[in-house]
Structure 1
Amino acid sequence: MKQPILYSFVKFKPYIETGEFVNVGLLMCEPEKRKLTYQLVAKNDKRVNNFFYRSSIFNNIRDTINEELQYITSQVFNCTPQEMATFFHHYIDVKEGIVQYSNAAIGLVDDPQAYFNDLYTKYIHLAGVKPENQETIMVKHFKELFKAEDDVVLSNYRQHTVRGELAKFTLPLALKEENGQEILKAVKPLAFDQIESPSMIEYCDNWVSKINRANEEGLLKKENILFALDTADTANKINILNTIKKTFDNFKIQHIDWNEQNTLLEFAKNI
């Protein structure tokens, strides 16, 4: 059976002049249970402190905010559900000061605590946190793939920096000479998260330039580098990806679709 809830975000607004704020907590009311629940971020939360130029203000007042919310949520309310809802609206009606509250939102949910946890995670805990990009996901996938093979050669693939007079870049999965500088083999995932088509082409050209320059300096051989290309998910990206493949072909740089795992493993093992 669904239950009604009210909730409000706790806003930290240290500089009234600018009006900027960051959500630091969540307060929920369950009128039928006469219950209040809250959660605040930690004192050293980087998202909060870095938002205001590494300010220490939140660190200094977080305990005060917590004590107030702890006090109010621990109260025993002997009232009707309507009176409980009214109390909640009046409590969050704070429009001045360092700590303010968003307007009350209403929900009708199966599990209030689970809903509360989801709201907190999505809008506070993970707010502003940049998700992993596709290339990072691809690298992790290949590392797991290599590990699962239980192969001596594959177990030696590491992240290595290619460094010469003119070339300097990092390869996430590479084999390097034990006492030298040359890259023996490398697999480089390539994803195209850029919004504009020219940026995708430029990203490809940048890597072609890096590989050619490193090849000229004797830091690696082009035939020992394999680019694993991300899957295109739109008609436009398919056209761009075909252009990128032609570019690699023109410069004799090997490439495969990233889901061609058998081809990738065969390449990586063959040294």
Structure 2
Amino acid sequence: MKYICNYSILRFLPYPETGEFVNIGIVLIANNGDFRFKIEQKRQRVTHFFPSLESKIFQRAKREMTAELSRLSGFLAQNRSDLSMLLNTFKHLIHPRETMMRFSDPGTMATDNADAALSALFDHYVNHDFATKEYQETVLEKQLGSLLSDSNLRQKYTEQKLGTIEYPVRFPFVLSQGQIPVQAIKPINLGHDESSKILEHGDSWISKVRRLMSYDSLATDTLFVAGAPEPGKPKLLKAYREITRELGSFKGVRVINYDEGRNELLSQIRLGIPATLN
């Protein structure tokens, strides 16, 4: 049986002056009386976004909100037959308030399981499960395209597939001289939250580069612009360095960290453009 759920996203907003916030949880109530909530337990999500914020401030605010929602959960469980009261209580909970913990405007969805709905909403709004490596690389690609446009270089590049008819490999930015690809630029996301994912994704491109080389189809200069893991995570950074080192070991292949900044990125891009095309 399907139930209608109202839900709201819990947000942590420590500096009202800037309006910046981090999604940290979900509250949900169904029209069968089920009330559920889930709050992110890892403080790194917030401290990485607000590096100047003392973690104890977030931890205290989170404890207070968890206590409030736990108390409310017990109250609603005792009165779950009074649907009107439940909905009014939920509206009061998510009503705009001038605190560090705030709720989004409510959303509505149909579900046959409140726990499953809560998990799905949490994964989407807090864990960003839609942000696959393909999604992240699309973001990197758009940012790199904007950088090239701002520097009056975008018109020099086209999207091309290098390789053979049987084995085509897409590169979003390829600079050609006549029919010869002289530079290919590929954003690659190596900022995964697990070492195995970094290695697997990196290995797939190492294999592609090796095969393109065997077909003599690699651009004269191939530049990988890599999204890196967050600082302070040695296992992830080790995997990142392993992949970038191996990619950079191929003749004509270079790797640069996207976080090096616009000027360094442009410098490395221009380094691979033949003087005759500048």
One-letter amino acid of the counterpart of residue 197, structure 2:
S
Q: How far apart, CA to CA, are the structure 2 residues paired with 1:147 and 1:121?
A: 41
Residue of structure 2 in register with 1:140 after alignment:
142
The one-character-per-residue Cα deviations of 1:17-54 (angstroms, maximum 9, x if unpaired) are xx5x676x789xxxxxxxxxxxxxxxxxxxxxxxxxxx
Residue of structure 1 in register with 2:181 after alignment:
183
Residue of structure 2 in register with 1:107 after alignment:
93
The one-character-per-residue Cα deviations of 1:104-147 (angstroms, maximum 9, x if unpaired) are 56416347xxx886333996xx8798247332221111111111
Gaps of 5+ in 2: 9-78, 110-120
One-letter amino acid of the counterpart of residue 169, structure 1:
V
Q: How far apart, CA to CA, are the structure 2 residues paired with 1:108 and 1:263?
A: 45
Residue of structure 1 in register with 2:224 after alignment:
227
- Secondary structure of the corresponding residue to residue 232 of structure 1: coil
Q: How far apart, CA to CA, are the structure 2 residues paired with 1:129 and 1:199?
A: 14
Q: How many residues align?
A: 177
- Secondary structure of the corresponding residue to residue 173 of structure 1: strand
Q: Are residues 118 and 155 of structure 1, via their aligned partners in 2, closer, same or farther at CA, if it must alter by over 3 Å?
A: farther
Residue of structure 1 in register with 2:203 after alignment:
205
Kindly indicate whether the alpha-carbon contact (under 8 Å) linking 1:160 and 1:176 is maintained by their aligned counterparts in 2: no
Kindly indicate whether the alpha-carbon contact (under 8 Å) linking 2:163 and 2:215 is maintained by their aligned counterparts in 1: no
- Secondary structure of the corresponding residue to residue 93 of structure 2: strand
Kindly indicate whether the alpha-carbon contact (under 8 Å) linking 1:135 and 1:190 is maintained by their aligned counterparts in 2: yes
When the two structures are superposed, what TM-score results if normalisation uses the length of structure 1?
0.51
Residue of structure 1 in register with 2:250 after alignment:
251
Residue of structure 1 in register with 2:267 after alignment:
266
Gaps of 5+ in 1: 1-15, 28-85, 94-100
Kindly indicate whether the alpha-carbon contact (under 8 Å) linking 1:167 and 1:210 is maintained by their aligned counterparts in 2: no
Q: How far apart, CA to CA, are the structure 1 residues paired with 2:166 and 2:85?
A: 60
The one-character-per-residue Cα deviations of 1:162-204 (angstroms, maximum 9, x if unpaired) are 24055322112222455x4x43211111112544323321221
CA RMSD of aligned residues (A): 4.0
- Secondary structure of the corresponding residue to residue 172 of structure 1: strand
The one-character-per-residue Cα deviations of 1:217-260 (angstroms, maximum 9, x if unpaired) are 23223x41011122321221111112112212333421111133
- Secondary structure of the corresponding residue to residue 255 of structure 1: strand
Higher Cα radius of gyration: 1
Residue of structure 1 in register with 2:190 after alignment:
192
One-letter amino acid of the counterpart of residue 212, structure 1:
R
One-letter amino acid of the counterpart of residue 211, structure 1:
V
Q: Are residues 207 and 119 of structure 1, via their aligned partners in 2, closer, same or farther at CA, if it must alter by over 3 Å?
A: same
Kindly indicate whether the alpha-carbon contact (under 8 Å) linking 2:163 and 2:218 is maintained by their aligned counterparts in 1: no
Q: How far apart, CA to CA, are the structure 2 residues paired with 1:110 and 1:116?
A: 7
Matches within 5 A, 1:1-271: 16=1, 90=83, 104=90, 106-107=92-93, 109-110=95-96, 118-120=105-107, 130-131=130-131, 133-151=135-153, 154-176=154-176, 180=179, 182-221=180-219, 223-233=220-230, 234-252=233-251, 253-260=253-260, 261-269=262-270, 270-271=273-274
Shift of 1:208: 1.5
One-letter amino acid of the counterpart of residue 266, structure 1:
S
One-letter amino acid of the counterpart of residue 236, structure 2:
K
When the two structures are superposed, what TM-score results if normalisation uses the length of structure 2?
0.50
Q: How far apart, CA to CA, are the structure 2 residues paired with 1:211 and 1:229?
A: 15
Q: How far apart, CA to CA, are the structure 2 residues paired with 1:144 and 1:121?
A: 36
The one-character-per-residue Cα deviations of 1:91-110 (angstroms, maximum 9, x if unpaired) are 699xxxxxxx9x95641634
Q: How far apart, CA to CA, are the structure 2 residues paired with 1:188 and 1:211?
A: 11
